[in-house]
Amino acid sequence: MSRPLSDHEKRKQISVRGLAGVENVTDLKNNFNRHLHFTLVKDRNVATKRDYYFALANTVRDHLIGRWIRTQQHYYEKDPKRVYYISLEFYMGRALQNTMVNLALENACDEAMYQIGLDMEELEDMEEDAGLGNGGLGRLAACFLDSMATLGLAAYGYGIRYEFGIFNQKIVSGWQVEEADDWLRYGNPWEKARPEYMRPVHFYGRTEHHPDGVKWVDTQVVLALPYDTPVPGYRNNVVNTMRLWSAKAPCEFRLQDFNVGGYVEAVLDKNLAENISRVLYPNDNVSSSQLPSAVRRIMGWIIMRHVGDLQWQEMIVVVVVMMMMMMMVVVFLTTLFLAQFFEGKELRLKQEYFVVAATLQDIIRRYKTSKFGSMEAVRTDLDGLPNKVAIQLNDTHPALAIPELMRVLVDEEMLTWENAWDICVRTCAYTNHTVLPEALERWPIDLFQQLLPRHLEIIYEINRRHLERVASLYPGDVDRMRRMSLIEEGGQKRVNMAHLCIVGSHAVNGVARIHSDILKATVFKDFYEMDPYKFQNKTNGITPRRWLVMCNPGLAEVIAERIGDDFIRDLDQLKKLIKFVNDDAFIRDVAKVKQENKMKFAVHLEEHYKVKINPNSMFDLQVKRIHEYKRQLLNCLHIITFYNRIKKEPNKHWTPRTIMIGGKAAPGYHTAKMIIRLITAIGEIVNNDPVVGDRLKVIFLENYRVTLAEKAIPAADLSEQISTAGTEASGTGNMKFMLNGALTIGTMDGANVEMAEEAGEDNLFIFGMRVDDVEAMDRKGYNALEYYNRIPELKQAIDQIAGGFFSPKQPDLFKDIVSLLMYHDRFKVFADYGDYIKCQEKVSALYKNAKEWTKKVIYNIAGCGKFSSDRTIAQYAREIWGMEPSLEKFPAPDEKR
């Protein structure tokens, strides 16, 4: 019986060409049934789709284990330099399909499931996204782990195993509602707990200064329990490790040894200790002042969740206590609970220290016990640490690694300050991800003093020595010393974590060339002038395995037919496509794949949003976190303008568009939530207007995440990258759209600048102010009213929003949005409106010429080589970590059972 090619078989065509029979389908089926029976204790009569997913995941995981052990054995025996990528976020998404692609198992698994009578896509949909990140920063970390394994680097990702990832977003009556992302509720087949490597982490207490050193005493201890997840490289048998820490209370409680009050208090304390790894902070480039309200919201989920977790004996105790002390004790405990422990800033700082303290213990343990040379030995000389260890700080969140490493070296290993500082600086490097002032971490001194008293002393000493050096280089320049201090004076004293990272690292990098230049010219100008050798650029990248081969197999196959499949490892090979830019057959094939992806996504949209989609319309996407600087509001103004034009001239031949905007707003970010409500309100009016019909549809993509991105990005025709010039550090979504055949409308911001260079600026739709223009406007003063009064279509759109056209039942609903745009807009939406609308007209005109549009698409795909995370990581390795990537393939382990 014949059947259509699945996505898996399309991937097989490009990635297993000439390797038929790589895996024995019969063995896979037998192992699948073995796991269903022995691991899940189910048979086919009672098994659910989720059971089948777990059986398949465990079957695929079996093929990782031998490679994983062999890789770690190799590192132990060869003792290479290791890189430790510390990040508070790893936005991994789903693992099953990615693992099958990287191990060349997908075709065999697909066939095995087909023979068993199961649908592979249905099984894949049962997997929960590992959403342990807010957006770009966390997804970048995930791409980097893939590339580090693919390039054969001895690398480890270290982070926190959040019980609740980034919240699930529901749109209810047009508003964002947050729901708990309980991604672990059914278990996680990819992780392995490692209790033998549990480490203590200390908080609070005080310091004692003795002649023989400093002691940090009377601390509270939380245990860090590691969970390891394998990270496979692409077809090289390398499997690296992502180690995530989970917080555990340091002692257990026996029911028979307590009185009622003491037991409840003890259980509360235990839960408080474990709250450290309970939830990912859902902030993304927002002010820390917004954290507490967001955390309280999230902790509400946790309270409800853990009431459900109590055993029946515990429930009896809790009920008795509540009855006895309802009016007095419960109110008091609840107030204390929220005030002392659920205040956002303290819990976040605890998370940041928790991950670095546990990780550094692990790093030093591994450094001391690694085998080297021809004999096993234990290293005692820590002077060699920078030669064997590289620590990369992903933004300032793990900045406490610097004072913690100093504490370990000085207080525990008894090194001199000078020696310890030399080791620390040569080991650590810092990646900056933002220039927005509100997103740069600054922690109150009082909080530091309470939570980490020894680290505050160390930071003061680092700052003292740092300012002595500044004073010697710039004598008499008191203002420069103030600007460069790690401690910000005035009002509440704070520790500037970015300054700590710069001073304590040997390399500081931005994530796109324009971003790195801005850091040197403005944000960190003083530091660049003092130590120019520290500053580098490492333009971000994306892994082509997930973001082409996996999510867009049709396009990958079309490319492989022309240039072979080496581009999967070496994305620069895409330059070879230039010679096919006028090839009619290639143009048709690329356009056909895009249309197939659009048809598939249109079915998804109609099923989930009950909106009839015109698959021949231009799919215009802006998907990213909701934030003022990303300017979803500019997109809204274009939607309204286009809508008004259709209403004015309904008989004109307009280029139809389906405009999709997606992204999550931080729970405490009021303006971002109002932007979502405005988008949904516009959609309610536009989508139900019979005059407009299918020429314009507006959809807010609910709960945008990695899995949805894998569906949406291959279907996009137009990618909206419209941030105010000088505000987006890099972007990686822009690269994903480019690689998957969407054209970009964007400002000269972030990586857009380099994308235009690689593909040719004529092949992107560039509009708006450049960084110099924005700076000139800042000096002159931005007057939104000037544009409002001068541009009739802009005035009409704003008046409609202000007058309740899009919210007839609540005419004043968007008054805050209007006030923001008219009087308080830091990101100058109106200043770019006119040029944006003209540029959108060019987009619509070109889209009518399918052949010329697709030619530009080919130029863009051919220009994507630079934006592979393999290139990014190779640069980090050679220019920061002192390591050399390797394309050597490890021998495959014997997997016969």
- The residues that are catalytic are 433, 624-625, 630, 732, 736
Distances (CA, A) of 853 to 184, 561, 748, 762, 856: 44, 22, 21, 12, 5
Residue with tokens 């031949």: 653
Q: Residue 884 contacts by C-beta under 8 Å, 6 or more apart in sequence? A: 877, 878
- Give the 3-state DSSP-derived string for 712-761, with helices as H, strands as E and coil as C: HHHHCCEEEECCCCCCCCCCCHHHHHHHCCCEEEECCCCCHHHHHHHHCH
Tokens representing residue 31 in the block: 């192992």
| Cβ neighbours around 615 below 10 Å, total | 19
- Which amino acid, one-letter code, is at 553? P
Residue with tokens 């195993």: 161
Measured CA to CA, the distance from residue 814 to residue 216 in angstroms comes to 53
CA-based nearest residue to 53, from 111, 125, 141, 135: 125
Dihedral sign of CA atoms 474, 475, 480, 484 in order? positive
Measured CA to CA, the distance from residue 295 to residue 105 in angstroms comes to 41
Cβ pair 119, 113 in contact under 8 A? yes
Measured CA to CA, the distance from residue 379 to residue 720 in angstroms comes to 53
Cβ pair 165, 129 in contact under 8 A? yes
- Give the 3-state DSSP-derived string for 482-520, with helices as H, strands as E and coil as C: HHHCCEECCCCCEEEHHHHHHHCCCCEEECCHHHHHHHH
Distances (CA, A) of 454 to 408, 410, 442: 11, 12, 18
User: In this structure, what is the dihedral angle of CA atoms 470, 471, 473, 476, given to the nearest 10 degrees?
Assistant: 130
Measured CA to CA, the distance from residue 5 to residue 11 in angstroms comes to 10
Cβ pair 250, 272 in contact under 8 A? no
Cβ pair 518, 771 in contact under 8 A? yes
Measured CA to CA, the distance from residue 819 to residue 809 in angstroms comes to 20
- Residue 264 CA to chain centroid, in angstroms? 38
Cβ pair 144, 869 in contact under 8 A? yes
Distances (CA, A) of 589 to 255, 363, 546, 756, 858: 68, 50, 21, 24, 11
Main-chain phi, psi angles of 54, to 5 degrees: -65, -40
Cβ pair 758, 866 in contact under 8 A? yes
| Cβ neighbours around 341 below 10 Å, total | 17
Measured CA to CA, the distance from residue 92 to residue 191 in angstroms comes to 13
Q: Residue 536 contacts by C-beta under 8 Å, 6 or more apart in sequence? A: 507, 508, 509, 516, 879, 880
Q: Residue 804 contacts by C-beta under 8 Å, 6 or more apart in sequence? A: 810, 811, 812, 813
Measured CA to CA, the distance from residue 302 to residue 297 in angstroms comes to 9
